[in-house]
Structure formats: C-alpha cells, structure tokens
Structure 1
Amino acid sequence: MNGFIEIKNARIHNLKGVDVKIPKNKLTVITGVSGSGKSSLAFDTLYEEGKRRYLMFSGTQFIVDSTPSFDSMTGLSPTVAVEQRIIRQSNPRSTVGTRTKISNMLAMLFAAYGVRDDKYNDGIPLTMEMFQKNSPKGMCVKCLGTGFIKELDEEKLFEDLSQKIEDVCLGLGKRGITKRMLDSFCKYHNISPTDKLSTLTDEQLNFLKYGDNGKSSFMGFVPWIMHTTNGAFSTSSRLEYLLTNAGYMGKASCPKCGGAGLGEQAAHTAIGGKTISELENMYIKDLYEFLATVPITSPLLSEILVKLNCMVDVGLHHLALSRPVPTLSGGEIQRLFLASYIIAEMDSIIFVFDEPTIGLHEVEKAKLIEILKNLVGRGNTVIAVEHDEKFIRSADYIIDLGPNAGVLGGELIFQGGFEEFLYCKNSNTSPYLRGEETLEMEKRIRTIDMLNVLKIENAALHNLKNVTAEIPLGLMVGVAGVSGSGKSSLISDTLVPKLKEMLNTKCITDDEDEEFTYESNNVIISGTEHIKKCFVIDQKPIGRSRTSCPATYTGMFDRIRALFAKESGLSAGLFTVNSEGGCKVCKGDGEIHYHVGFGNFINLECEACGGTGFIPEVLEVMLDGKNIKDILSMTVDEAAEFFKGKDKSIDKILATLSRVGMNYITLGQKTPTISGGESQRIKLAKELSKGQNAKDAIYILDEPTTGLSFHDSQKLLKLLRELVDKGNTVILTEHDPYVLSNCDYIIEMGVGGGNDGGNIIAAGTPKELKQNSNSIIGRYLK
C-alpha cells in the first residue's frame, strides 16, 4: 500500500501545476506567506476531491460533471475539513451544547434522574422534550424558548405630541388593514388621522394607545404592535425592524423563565440541586467537576463526562453549553468541531485544519499539538495550514508554498522534514525559523502618561470580577491572557458597547449582528473626552450576502462600475450581479447549489452564464481590454497596476489593501471564502483608505495577525505603529508573543480561564512583564 497521498499538476486559483506527496498517518504542515496557495491546495484541491469521491459512492445518486483542477490524486481516504470560517456557523439558536449534542444528553439525564419539586409534580412522567427549549413541550410559553421578550418604550413612542396620529409607528398606520382600523377609530371618536397627538384629550390618547374596549375596530397601537410583532423577539418583520432602529423597541430577559427559555417542569426539576439551565450556564470545566460528583451510575453520564473532558483538553474549558455558536471566535469554532471528531474515535480519516492554534495562548498550544498527534496515533492523517512556529517545529512533514502571494506564489518551494526545511534557500518562512531573520522589534520607548487614560471601572460581565482597567492613550496596548481569561469580555463585550453608547456616530463599527449584545449598566468609562473617533475592527464577516466581495465592501466597486458606465454609455446598474446585470438563472451567484443529502451541497458552475454571474451583454463591454468579470478576477496587486492613474480613490483603496497584507485576494472573492483575520484586515484598509489622517482616534482590533505569516505580520505591525506615531491609540486583543513584544503597554488577564480568570494579573511595559513573576505571557515575550 502506498504510504502517500499524491497530487499531480494541481492548478486551481494561483497554483502553478503543483506536484506534491503527503505522507499518510503523519502530521503535515502546509506553510508559506499569506496568499501563496496553501488553502487552495489543502481545502480547494484535497478536501473538495475527498468530499466529491465520498458523495459519489455514498448512495446520493449524484454524479458530478465538473472540470478537475488537477491531473491525478491517489491514496485518498474519507476527508474531513475543520475550518474557522464563522459565516457558516450563523444559526442564532445553535449553542455549544446543541452543536456537541451534550444538551440533548443532559435532557435525557434529567428525564431519567431529575428530582421534581413536589409543588410542580403533576404526575405526568418527565420526558427529554420537557428540557429542550426548541421543543413545544419544553419551551417557555411567554418567550417561545428564546429567553427574551420584546419591550416597547411606550413613553418614547408617544412623547412627540407634534406628530400626527397616522404617523405613530413610523407611518405604518397609513396603509392596508391598519388604515381601515385607524379610520374606524377616528370616525367613532370624531377626529382625523392627520390630527396631532397634542389635540387629543387624555381619554382619547389613552384609547389610541390601548384601545377603546371594542367601540371601534382598532385595538390600540400598543396591543397592535405587540400582536403584529408576535411576542417572541425577532427582527424579521418590517414593523419590528423600524421600531428597533428608531429605538422604540428592545429586548429584555423573559420575566417568566428568567431568560432560560424553558417551561415550568424544567425550571423545577434538579439534579444535585441544580436545574438544567444552571448546568448549561456553568463553565465546562466547572460543569465537568460538578457532574463527576453526582451520585448517578449511568453510561449516559459517563459519556457526558468524556465529552466535557475532551472539550477541556482542546482549550474550551472557558465556554458554557448555553453559549451561542455565532459568538465564538474562528479558533473556538474549529476546536469545537475538533472535540466532536476526537469523541467519535474515528481512524483512517484525513483531517484538514485551518490554523488550529488561532486564539490559543502559548501555554495552550502544546496541549493542542499533543491532541492532534493523538489523532495521528489512532491511524489518521492530519494536515494543517499553519504559521505558528511551535506547530511547524512539531510537524512530521512540511510543505512550503510560495515564494510570494497571488500570481507570484503558487509554486512548491519545499516538501520534507523540519531539519531540511531550516536550510531551504527559496523559502520566506525558513529564515525566521533558523533565526536569521526575526520580526523587527519596536526600538523606540514611548512615554506612558497614566494621567491620559481610558478608564474602565466595575467591569463584571461573564467572569470579570469587578475589574478596573486603565488603558494609556497614544500607545499600542496589548490585552493578553489564556483562553477564557476575560480579554473579550473586557474589550469586545464591555468597552466597545459602552463606547458605542457614549460616542454614538463617532464610534465606527459593523453592526451586522446585534443579537448578542450584553448589558453592562454598572460599568463606568471615563477618559472619552480624549477620543475624537473610535474604530472597532473585528473578525466578523464582511458583507451580508453571498455576492458580497472586497470590491463591494470597500466601496471600490461603485467607482469601477462608474468607469464602465462612462465607457459604454450604459447604466452603472448593469455592471452588478445584484441588479439588472445579474444572471437570471443563478441570481448572480455564478453557481447552482444542489443539496445531495446529509447536509452536504455540491456547487456547480451555472451553465447560463458560464459561472460569471453576469448576463452576456455586460461582458461585451471592455475597459482597456478587460470586462467587468476580468477585473473582479484580478488580485489587488494586478488591479493596482491596471487602474493606475484611472481613479485616485480606487488607487488609494488598492494601495491600502496591499499595505495590510491583502495584496493576494481577488477583488471579487466571495465573502464565505474570506477568513476572520482577512475580514478584519479588509475592514482596517477600508477605514485607512478614507484618508482622514485621524489623530486622537482609537483603533480596537481582535488578533489582527490571524492568518499572517512572519513575513506578513511584519508589514501589518509597521502600519499599526504608523497609526500610533500619528497620535492614535491601538488596542489589540492578542496571543502572539511577537506582537505583544511590540506593544508599548500590556494588560494581562488571568490567571486561568472561566472562574479561574476575570482579574488583571499584570500590567505594564513588555520589559516590566518579563520581570513580573505574576505574568504568564512575560516568559514568552521577546
């Protein structure tokens, strides 16, 4: 039997006919600069072919007639991809517990061993469904299992007495059934829909708000709103969207279930004195310790403990089962999937990982590497796209692609063992590993003025223990700590929402998903008078649709379409797949998506448009020999050359994308294929390209070097230093010792994760942390 997976002439995206051998039952790392072709080889070639072959022989009766992107591939076995692309994990009801199936197992445990409160024992046997908030038998009848109810600010809705009756509820009283009911109300009370609220008597205003006991057919605006928006919190209806945006409607914890989403039986049944909601809200590490002491002898409980222990092992000890999956980072999502595969005890599988060390502290990486080596020990093949030095040194085999990004990459630079790789002359990675090149360290020591600070007081969200933190301004400030130590709770979930509230329009952020904002009312933030603007640049996906891409997100595409419109005399709307220029068959997607069973989809090129997403007439229009699809297929570097001198705004956006290390992406790359780290750098480029030369601004970033090689991290750090040199503050939540060593000031959270975290254990310059015995990150700083 051949001990290798062999791929001949791989040529998808920028791969230039790569021939590669990957040893089976080993840990292989694919490395190289960002955009060199690593994901193209690991995911788009190896994984996609593994999936295609599996589906072809699994009885789905689906024959895929697609053009292969390689000549041959041998030695392949079933292949599993473990990615960190957050956009695919967006079901708001999906939680850590439902994803791992531990919530279902706990529900079964409670049905079998739960002890009921005598007052609520109706004699009906307990069933698993009674402990599931997505089940009609288990959900709270008031909030329908969401844990939230809508809250209407009646006072605010009716406070402007100069508004007309028909304009209450933002004018929705002017049409349809609402208009007929309102007309009936006005006719009965001898008033007009155009009368102002100030002309009504107190009694008439009360009738308008709450109804007139059936005298007219209008039930009153307040009952009508609550009836129309249907009780449970959602932003699906237009009315609710408008009310929420205008600040008239919000959400509050359901008073009946206390936010648990569960009904009476679940709320009054316990194991070891705790309800299922209390268990699901515990940190996984604490939950494991609690359940290990419960006096129940059951294979079910043993299985739950095995799963929980596995999640602790992969560094998810700080999560709770109730945590919504869309709030997890890319690294946490990936480790959640990893835990489920380890529990399944599979062998002879090829696992393909996308930077599995993302989001892990230096002390946690060794444990993850050990777990992946255990997967190999069971007879599996593990392939990881990775930049981390510790991970590369631990690998059995290394594949290096490059030498550079985009069209300057896509070549096989090296394949073999680590010792050989150290002396590979053509690699951009090996010089860093052998110590010839190092990440340039900040030599300048900036003055730290602790009188000019942004101060957070009384931070007690999640595991934070009434934290007071001082962030000195005009510096690069790193926030460090192990997973679950409270970094995100302090910055993303406490500081950012408060800054949005206090700075209002001066706080620039992508509000794509407001579903998971946290209340932090007792927190006091001072020092905002020193801040002129705040930019929150996180790893959430860019764009809201599948046809979104870097060109549309940065605003560059409007300028490009205007150039095509000017050249052709046609409307600019023709040059977008979202309008009249989009293919009518695939709706501009370029692909037709076929469900082939088991939750899998096969995407095939749309025959009507040949995969372009455009109607034929659009593609006939040329700009210097290139049509709109050709331009969307260009990398940032290629586009910079093509557009030079054509449009200053396009030039500036492209130059900034290149400076943040995104020179290798194509202008039309689809949002779902862009990782969290890439999304963040595109957002940074968008803000920087506006050219405001902001001073006294604050930039908040979440692990900005995610997905970057040593070579590319250098470029990004240089850019961040320039921002600070101009008089701005940069706050980074970060694990990378090189990045933290380049900070002027570090706040370290800990000492552990979950209940063992939530405190500031050290604060000061990198030099001070190296000498601080309380600091964990100090021993790794350069």
Structure 2
Amino acid sequence: MARRRSSTVSTPTPRLAADALLRDGTANSRVGRFGWMRLRGVRARNLDGLDLDLPRGCWVAITGPTGAGKTTLARDVLHAEGRRRYIETFPAASRRAMERLERPDADTLEGIPTARFLSATDAISSGRRTSLARVVELRHALATLFSLEGVVVCPDCRVGIRPRSATDLAHLLDQLPEGTRYAIGFPVEVGPNVNRRVALDTLRAEGYTRVVPWDRAKTQFNDRVRTFEDEDLLKQTCREWWVIVDRLIRGNENPARRLDSLSTALARGGGLCRIVSDALPNGAIDARNDWRCPSCARMFLEPTPPLFFETNPLGACPVCRGVGRLDDQGRPDPHGSAVCGTCQGLRLRSESLAVRLEDANLLEWEALTVEQMTERLMRPVTNVAASSGESPRTTSARRRALAILTTLDQLGLGHLPLDRPCRDLARGEATRAILAGAIASGLSGLLWVLDEPSTGLHPCDIRRLSEALGRTRDQGQSLVVVDHDPDLIRAADWVIELGPGSGSEGGRVVFQGTPDQLAQADTPTGRLIANPSATPWAVASQPPTLSNSPPDSARFSRARKSSRPRFERPPDRPWLRLTGARGRNLRGIDISIPLGGLTLVTGVSGAGKRTLVLDVLAWAVAEAIRIQKGPSADANPRPRAHESVGFEAIEGCEHLEGLEVIASGPPIRSPRSCPAGVLGIAGELRRVFAATPLAKQRGYPAAFFGIGSTGGRCSTCKGLGVVTLDLAFLPDVSATCPDCGGKRFRPEILDVTYQNRSIADILDLTIREGFALFKNKPKIQARLRAPLELGLDHLRLGQPLTSLSDGEARRLRLAGFLATSPAAVERSSRGPKSLFLVEEPIWGLHRSEWSRVLDRLRSLPALGHTLVATSSRPELEGWADWVIELGPGAGDRGGRVIFQGPPRVSSTPSRHNADHTPSLPQS
C-alpha cells in the first residue's frame, strides 16, 4: 500500500559519506572498525531512494519524529534483509517453501548480518499462557534441572521415588559391615488364583532353590529361608514369595557375581529387588529401577525435559491438553468458561508436578521472584563447586538459568515473579524482559534491532538499559535501536536522524554521525542533545490553579506568567478519594484525586502505577458508577474485591457520570483493522460507494466495499492485500497478493469510483488528503479532525495497524476515541463529568511531538472532565495539577505513596523524580 513520493519533491538531505564523517576527531573509535552496512536506493513506504551507511559492531540509534520511517528502516529493511540472508544459508531442499520470501526494495544492501527483531509488542500481545519464564527461555533451563536433580514424590503417600540400578544397589551393599550375611531376591505372586505347585516347578526349572514367604497383611518375614522341597510352602496363606537369587557375605563376595545377581533380580522381578539381612532396618530393603511408588504402587513417568512443558503431549494435562480450560462440552478450549478439573487450570499433568526440587515443584519455583530464584540457585552452585559432585549437564543448566536471572536483575526486573503473564507486564517491563532473553542467549555476531526499548521507563531504569545495551555491543553484537530518549542517543556510537516531518514529509536523512556531532547539528534531536534542560517538556505551558469559576479553555491555555501559581484546592471543590487500594505490590494505599483537574501518577517502572490506575481505580469507579445508575442506586457503592485486586472505599463518584480508559496496545488486533475503522468512517465510506450510480446499477450493497465481506474482497488474500508465507520454525512473512496486487478488492468492485477514485484509491489516501477530498461530507471530516490535531495526517486510511509505530498506534487510539465519542468530550460545563484514565500518553513520541498530545489531553480538564495519566517520565510533572508518585522502588520495594501534592520538586529523599524533574518556579 506504500506510495512513492513524487519525483518533483526535493530531498535536501545532508547525505555525508560515513568516511567523511570520520575524518574529524570526534568519531567513536569503534565506528568503522568492523565494517559497514551500506544501503543504497532503499524504497519502502515513505523511504524513497534512501542512501545510508551504518557501522557494524556498534550501537546505532535511529531517531526522528513519528512516521518519519524509523521503524520501516529498522524492521522492514534491516531486519527483513538479515532474516532473508539467514534463510539463504539453508540447503535448497529446505528453502523450497521459502522461495517466495521477498527481498526489500533497494538498489544495494551490503554487509547486513543475520538479524533479530526485539519488540515488547510480541510479548504483550501473546496469550495468557506465555509467562515471563517462557519469554526469556528460563523454563528450558528449569526443565533440565528438574529432570536431572528433581525427586519424584508420590502426592498421596509423600514417599520419594528413586529408581536404583544394579550399580546403585552394589554401592549400597558396600556400606554393610564386613562379614554381614545377606540375600538378594525378587517377588513372585502366589495368591489364591495361582497354582503354587506349577510356580515351584517353574522356578526350579529356572535354577532357583530357595524362597522367603512374605505376608503383606502381617508385614513381616518368616524367621527362616525355605527350600522348594518344603511342603509347607504349598499350605501357607502368604500371597507373595521372595525368590532368593544369591546368598553372599559382605567382604567375601565376588563383585562381578554380586552385580550379576542384582541385575537378574531386577530383571526377573519386573524392576523390583529385595535385599534381606539381619543388619538392615526391618530385616530387608526394597529397591526398584522403575518409577512406581513403593507404598501405593502408583506408576509415575521418568523426569525428562519434555515432561515440564504443557505444550508437549508428554507434559500436558491429558484432559485439557495443556490449555487449562474446557468449553461447555468438556472439550479443551483456552477461552472456555470452565477450569479443567483434572489439573485445576495448571495445564501440566500430575506426574509433572510430582517432581520436586528442594521440596517445591516447577510451578512453585516459577512463582518466585527473579531475586528469590537467584538466591535459591546460588546456594547449590557454591556448594557443588567445592565438592565437584554435580554433573556437567546440571552445572550447565544452573549457569544458564543464573545468566538469565542475573540479566533480568541487572535490568531492574528482580521484583517480578517469573510466572507473571507477559500480557500483564507493563510496556517497559516487557521490553526489558525480551532484551534480557536475547542478551543471555550467548549468541554473537548478530544484528539486534530494538523498537522503542525506553518506552515506559523511568530515567533510573533507562540507565540500567543503557548499560545492558553497552555490554551487548561489547560482546560483538551490532545494535540498531529506534528510540527518542536523549540518554540512549548519547550512549550510542552512531546516530541516524530521519525527518524532517512525518509521512511524505519524512523518510529522509537529516543527520548521520556520532552523538558529539549531533550535538552541533541544527536538528530537533541535535538541539535536545546539546541542551536537554532548555525544553525539558515540549508543553511549555504552566497549568493554572483550579478555582470555583466554571472551567473554560482559556484558563488552560499556555500561561504567560513567569512564575507558577501555588496549587490550592478550594474546600468546596470535590475530590475523588480511594482508600485501601491493594493488588500485586499495592498494600492498602490511600490516594486523593482533584475532580476537574489533571493528575499524574508517576514513579519507577514496577512501582505499581498501572495496577493502581488501570486495575484498582478503573474497577472501583466503574463499579460505583454502575451501582449509581442501576436500580439499587442507594446501596453501598463499595463493590466486593475479586482475586488480589481490591480496596476499602471510594468517595466522590457521585460527581462522575462516565469512565473512559485509554490504555496501551493497538486499537484492534485484527490484521484487517485500519485507521478508517478506528476513526469510525469505514461504514461511511462503504455507504458513499454504494450510493454511486454504477454500484446501484450492478446491485452492489455497501458491504461489498468492505474488506470483511466475501462478496467484494479478493478471494486469494481475503482482503488483506498480502498473503502469509509459513516458514515452518521461523516467523511467518508476508508477500503482496499476486491476484489483486495489494488492492484487496475484486476487479469489478474497483470499477466503481467516487470522484474518479476506487475504494482502494480512497483507502490509499492520507488522512489529510481524505479530509480535503470529503469536504462535502461533514461527518467524515469531523472524525478526521482529531487525528489531524494529533499529528497523524500522514497515515493512510487503509494502512494496516500492524505497520504503525508505537507512537502512531498510541495517538490513533486516542484519536479514535475523540473522533467516535464527541458527545463524551464536548459536554457543557453543567452536570457531572467523565473520568479519563490514560496510560503513558507520550509513548513512542519524539519530544518535539509531546505538545500535540499533551495539549489535546489538557483540553479534557478544561471542559470540566477529570484526567488521570500514568507516566514514568518525571518531566511531565509540570504538565499536571496534582502528582502522585509511587515507590520508592519496584516490586516489594514499591507500592507505596511517597509523594502526593502539587507538582514541585520535593525534598523527600526517597523521591526518584526529584533528581530528574526540572526545577519549577515557586510562588
């Protein structure tokens, strides 16, 4: 769906050759030492003939405004070409299913190594079955440890089960005192249905001559060994004989004879052997070489790594097949309404959970935090190093697990439990988890492509991230990092800035060189790097003091005063008060939120911001509003707690009439979703085309002009414009549909035009072009105004959401709400208002773009609504009326309110933000 920029558009890009840039003395010594990745004539989306040099073995930062082509360059060119080259190394027979893999459109692509793309979106969008332990591949190391060192414990008898080989039994006999007499035997059933005469004759024919009668009811041995000639054997009531294979004396036996007798007893006894001696406790000891419980005879499986994966048939619950849930007919269904009664939703079979290591099963180990598991694994490693008693495979598995855990801890994720579903992770946590798994993999010589790794991170966390990226680079990796954070840009070896604008106004190189050279360049990022404190946040306005006067937009416009007024809440203005908030690391905290104002919830990543706002507060307000609007409006508005999330009370909801949550993630996950659908104009476009004369003549309904209808869409690509290629064990790739050429519709549907444009042409228009085209369609224009205000004018109406960058997807979600819910936003100043909860409003945005989003959000309190936003960026404190900071750390060290009040730098020592918040003038 990409459109090539017109050749008449000038492209004044400062394309300095890499060699020329290295001639001055400011270049990093690593740059150029390992060669270059040379790109010439790159054409992809808004990249039109791009020429670029990127040093290998270095950290390359790509920055620029949203929509400038950063993700296209990193993911669709560098990563795609690196993956294609890796596949080209396969034998021809293995590449038969991959021959249609397309090469990025470029004149020359040289020096690009095998690439891997790391994005938190992959982890967050994964199913609930994907946990942190799985995404960092820690489960594999734990499975190996459990298979080698785990002990099978019968859950009913609590008896440890350990198979013993003939060699193990020989070592056990060596511990008997010298001169001890003992016998080796195996069991034979002689119950009421067994002909004992035939049994004796059979055993005699095999060479055996003695037995020991054993009565299970009395659980004792006869006081003497019987020969086969003893006629009393045929009369006794015992149900089992222990046939003697050999009788030996400790110290005088032949080791080879003893080992052969033990092997015979185990083989003839079906894996069960008994050693009889007066020197043993109870006169005998039983030994098995299978996994049967000696008390209840329940059979277990031998611990092997596949036994500990619910995705493997060996380890999956046999009823739910590893999904944990069942539908109404009792069939496995991950979205079923009933929890599997066999595994209780744990997805593993009972034999898997019977294996225990340090008296805990695999799931109990994964319930530990990163720090707790690290501590538990360190103790055995230290002890084994001294005794050298651990097998090489066990040592290797422990070291692999510790490498992953150490990397997670270094990235500030030591507080996370390893069984936390990835979809419940904050964006910053998921990014670092993906990176930790890649760093701990031990691979070298690769090209790692990272998309917005600083998203959702506090400056304290960004320092850890920068150190981890530096260590990865020093290990011989090549890094391409798409990001806007100035600290990450300064730490890079080479910087590429794309721009100068978005969409057709972007896709050009406005700078390439070292960070020192960037600080001297007159570009948006260059000015930020040179003087980061000059404009610490793009919205230079200072929010005014809330008063009793009716809110209006002018009160919230950019203030021209040089000093910031003190925030003093008038006593008659209402507050929203939440007490006893709990969930995850929140432990009964109390917060106050000024209604009609803008509150920022901040703190380090993992402090509990998302849990407080999107889990506890959202649930409490939604339940209170529901009760208020229902028939029991006079009832106690406090809802009951569910799972681990709850609270004691909430006050002030009577002043609210609605709740709107704008959280992270793409607006819609369907591959057919596009901006036109998110903005609510897809139906209008279909009706416009259905009203044309040709459509009426042919009888085409409006549905035929939507890619969801089988009547109008291309039957080959199902309206996607691309076909998916299955690369077996590699991620799937997409290629342009050979039938429709990416148009997505059947040829006869494309015959219908509106203003000389088909539906495919309309969907290929940018939002700005669509706004101009539909000037006589006020409903469509009204819904396109919000994305224009948020700087999304470069997006195409039919562009797949999967192609959007994080910043674009974030703003499109906000624009979609503002466009489709104008009544919820543009209300008068009279009556109750709505509460808006927004997660990380500046995700994926260049600092030059912050003002567009923040000013638009600022208009909500200007209309009397209440806005609560979460952000890890302390620079945004000056944008808010009220600040709530959680901390002081992450996980168990967080979840507390360490500051609550108007936005000013606090002297509280525990406040992380105080070190990173620009000084605000005091009144």
Q: For the superposition of Structure 1 and Structure 2, which TM-score range results when normalised by the shorter chain?
A: 0.7 to 0.9
Q: Following the alignment from structure 1 to structure 2, what is the Cα–Cα distance between the partners of residues 521 and 364?
A: 28
2:373 corresponds to: 287
1:647 corresponds to: 777
- Return the TM-score normalized by structure 1: 0.81
Q: Which amino acid aligns with 2:741?
A: G
Q: Percent identity?
A: 28
The answer on whether the counterparts of 1:446 and 1:475 sit within 8 Å (CA) in structure 2 is: no
The answer on whether the counterparts of 1:87 and 1:541 sit within 8 Å (CA) in structure 2 is: no
2:357 is aligned with 1:271: yes
The answer on whether the counterparts of 2:62 and 2:496 sit within 8 Å (CA) in structure 1 is: yes
Give the drift of 1:462: 1.4
Match runs of 1:425-444 below 5 Å: 425=522, 427-435=523-531, 439-444=538-543
- Secondary structure of the residue that 2:755 maps to in structure 1? coil
Q: Which amino acid aligns with 1:29?
A: A
- Secondary structure of the residue that 1:559 maps to in structure 2? helix
1:316 corresponds to: 413
2:816 is aligned with 1:780: no
- Secondary structure of the residue that 1:534 maps to in structure 2? strand
Q: Following the alignment from structure 2 to structure 1, what is the Cα–Cα distance between the partners of residues 783 and 586?
A: 39
1:468 counterpart (574, 578, 590):
590
| Structure 1 gap ranges (5+) | 151-225, 237-249, 508-516
Match runs of 1:83-98 below 5 Å: 83-86=119-122, 89-98=125-134
- Secondary structure of the residue that 2:113 maps to in structure 1? coil
2:801 corresponds to: 671
2:258 is aligned with 1:127: no
Q: Following the alignment from structure 1 to structure 2, what is the Cα–Cα distance between the partners of residues 64 and 260?
A: 41
Give the drift of 1:751: 1.8
Q: Which amino acid aligns with 1:574?
A: F
RMSD between superposed Cα atoms in Å: 2.8
Match runs of 1:129-528 below 5 Å: 131-134=308-311, 138=315, 145=322, 228-230=328-330, 234-235=334-335, 260-265=346-351, 270-294=356-380, 297=390, 298-299=394-395, 300-425=397-522, 427-435=523-531, 439-447=538-546, 449=569, 452-504=574-626, 520-521=645-646, 523-528=648-653
2:137 is aligned with 1:101: yes
The answer on whether the counterparts of 1:506 and 1:532 sit within 8 Å (CA) in structure 2 is: no
Give the drift of 1:229: 3.4
The answer on whether the counterparts of 1:284 and 1:316 sit within 8 Å (CA) in structure 2 is: yes
Q: Following the alignment from structure 2 to structure 1, what is the Cα–Cα distance between the partners of residues 780 and 100?
A: 40
For residues 282 and 525 of structure 1, do their structure 2 counterparts lie closer, same or farther at Cα, with a shift above 3 Å needed? farther
Q: Following the alignment from structure 1 to structure 2, what is the Cα–Cα distance between the partners of residues 138 and 120?
A: 21
1:58 corresponds to: 90
Give the drift of 1:357: 0.9
Give the drift of 1:496: 2.0
1:583 corresponds to: 714
Q: Following the alignment from structure 2 to structure 1, what is the Cα–Cα distance between the partners of residues 898 and 620?
A: 24
Q: Following the alignment from structure 1 to structure 2, what is the Cα–Cα distance between the partners of residues 262 and 459?
A: 34
2:18 corresponds to: none
2:244 corresponds to: none
Q: Following the alignment from structure 1 to structure 2, what is the Cα–Cα distance between the partners of residues 518 and 231?
A: 26
Give the drift of 1:618: 1.8
- Secondary structure of the residue that 1:460 maps to in structure 2? strand
- Secondary structure of the residue that 2:448 maps to in structure 1? strand
| Structure 2 gap ranges (5+) | 1-32, 160-291, 294-299, 385-389, 547-567, 630-641, 919-923
For residues 663 and 86 of structure 1, do their structure 2 counterparts lie closer, same or farther at Cα, with a shift above 3 Å needed? farther
1:189 corresponds to: none
1:510 corresponds to: none
Give the drift of 1:384: 0.9
2:885 corresponds to: 748
For residues 452 and 142 of structure 1, do their structure 2 counterparts lie closer, same or farther at Cα, with a shift above 3 Å needed? farther
- Secondary structure of the residue that 1:493 maps to in structure 2? helix
Q: Which amino acid aligns with 2:576?
A: L
Q: Following the alignment from structure 1 to structure 2, what is the Cα–Cα distance between the partners of residues 581 and 717?
A: 41
Give the drift of 1:523: 4.6
Give the drift of 1:560: 1.5
1:771 corresponds to: 907
For residues 346 and 232 of structure 1, do their structure 2 counterparts lie closer, same or farther at Cα, with a shift above 3 Å needed? closer
Please identify which structure carries the higher helix content.
Answer: 1
2:723 is aligned with 1:598: no
The structure with the largest alpha-carbon Rg is 2
Q: Following the alignment from structure 2 to structure 1, what is the Cα–Cα distance between the partners of residues 885 and 753?
A: 55
For residues 89 and 684 of structure 1, do their structure 2 counterparts lie closer, same or farther at Cα, with a shift above 3 Å needed? closer
Q: Following the alignment from structure 1 to structure 2, what is the Cα–Cα distance between the partners of residues 521 and 460?
A: 5
Number of residue pairs aligned between Structure 1 and Structure 2: 679
Give the drift of 1:273: 4.0
- Secondary structure of the residue that 1:352 maps to in structure 2? strand
Bigger Cα displacement from structure 2, 441-450 vs 703-712: 441-450
1:660 counterpart (790, 808, 812):
790
Q: Deviations over 1:269-298 (max 9, x none)?
A: 543343332221222122212332346654
The answer on whether the counterparts of 1:702 and 1:732 sit within 8 Å (CA) in structure 2 is: yes
1:691 corresponds to: 822
Give the drift of 1:143: 6.5
- Secondary structure of the residue that 2:44 maps to in structure 1? coil
Q: Following the alignment from structure 1 to structure 2, what is the Cα–Cα distance between the partners of residues 763 and 144?
A: 49
The answer on whether the counterparts of 1:50 and 1:76 sit within 8 Å (CA) in structure 2 is: yes
Q: Following the alignment from structure 1 to structure 2, what is the Cα–Cα distance between the partners of residues 445 and 732?
A: 18
2:855 is aligned with 1:718: yes
Q: Following the alignment from structure 1 to structure 2, what is the Cα–Cα distance between the partners of residues 120 and 452?
A: 60
Give the drift of 1:588: 0.9
Q: Which amino acid aligns with 1:35?
A: G
Q: Following the alignment from structure 1 to structure 2, what is the Cα–Cα distance between the partners of residues 608 and 259?
A: 45
Q: Deviations over 1:191-229 (max 9, x none)?
A: xxxxxxxxxxxxxxxxxxxxxxxxxxxxxxxxxxx7x43
Give the drift of 1:536: 0.4
For residues 336 and 380 of structure 1, do their structure 2 counterparts lie closer, same or farther at Cα, with a shift above 3 Å needed? same
2:188 corresponds to: none
